[in-house]
Amino acid sequence: MIAPACHDTAAAVAAVPAAGPDFAYISSGTWSLVGVEVRAPILSDAAMQANFTNEGGVCGTYRFLKNVMGLWLLQQCRRLWAQDRPVTYEELIELARRAPPFGPIVDPDDERFLRPTDMIAAIRSACEETGQPVPDTRGAVVRCILESLAVKYRWVVERLEAITGRPIRVIHIVGGGSRNELLCQLTADATGRPVYAGPAEATALGNALVQAMALGRLGGLDDIRAVVRRSVQVALYEPHPDPRWEEAAERMSRSDHRPGVEG
């Protein structure tokens, strides 16, 4: 009997096809787990204040990460739109691709988005309360969600660098969200770093490969990741610099401060 990486995120991170240590990962799905791999827990005041956590990984590693709300926002909007007629994620992403860029930005981790009865109304309310244009089409709402996630990923990556004191040169997105081409490109653009997307089934792949390691077929994490790189086609998204991402990041930093309320 073999005990593999016993948490889905641990298995997914084991299957990140990184070739070196200077990477961050985003295990992307309903939630987004954004972090780095370290050899010892980070227990600093800065880590606590930024609400990061240390979770056990494979081969003596720790996953130093932050949980971001993720594609839950899009899933809940789609659920409401589907009450009129069935709508696919592909249709919604195409609408977002056509929507004007650099629209309103919300903090995906705002508590109002955790269990709303109407996610669309909650997003529009957050935009209105922060003095931003209210998205009035499906494409604009989805674009708001994806750009907001990309900016939040940027916020987390910058704090990972500051807290760990080491550079992050690339980002690997694994899990179902790696199939969202627009989100992957926006993440590269917002963070200014290349994004490697895939594998989508990282949890299953990591689980199987950790068991192979336990049976002596693989020597460690480097071997596991080399197998993933040889076995899976990974998409590369190069960043397109744009100064408007700076302004978008500033708007997110102000998103908790409503007009007339002290922050």
State the pLDDT at residue 263. 30
Cis peptide before 199 (omega within 30 of 0): yes
- Cα Rg, the chain, nearest whole Å: 19
Residues 6+ apart with CB under 8 A from 186: 146, 147, 149, 150
Domain 9-214+224-248 of CATH type 3.30.420.40 = yes
Q: How far apart are CA 169 and CA 209, in angstroms?
A: 26
| From 8, 110, 223, 242, the catalytic residue | 8
CB atoms inside a 10 Å sphere around CB 232: 16
Q: Please indicate whether residue 8 is annotated as part of the active site.
A: yes
Q: How far apart are CA 144 and CA 103, in angstroms?
A: 6
CB atoms inside a 10 Å sphere around CB 73: 26
First to last CA, the chain: 53
Phi, psi of 54 (to 5 degrees): -115, 120
Residue 1: which pLDDT band, with cuts at 50, 70 and 90? low
Domain residue ranges in the chain:
9-214+224-248
Evaluate if residue 258 carries a pLDDT over 50: no
Q: In the predicted model, what is the mean pLDDT of the chain? A: 94
pLDDT in tens, 24-76: 999 999 999 999 999 999 999 999 999 999 999 999 999 999 999 999 999 99
Q: How far apart are CA 162 and CA 66, in angstroms?
A: 14
Query: What average pLDDT does the segment 214-242 reach?
Result: 96
Instruction: Select from 7, 179, 166, 153 the least CA-distant residue to 93.
Output: 179
pTM of the model: 0.94
CB atoms inside a 10 Å sphere around CB 72: 19
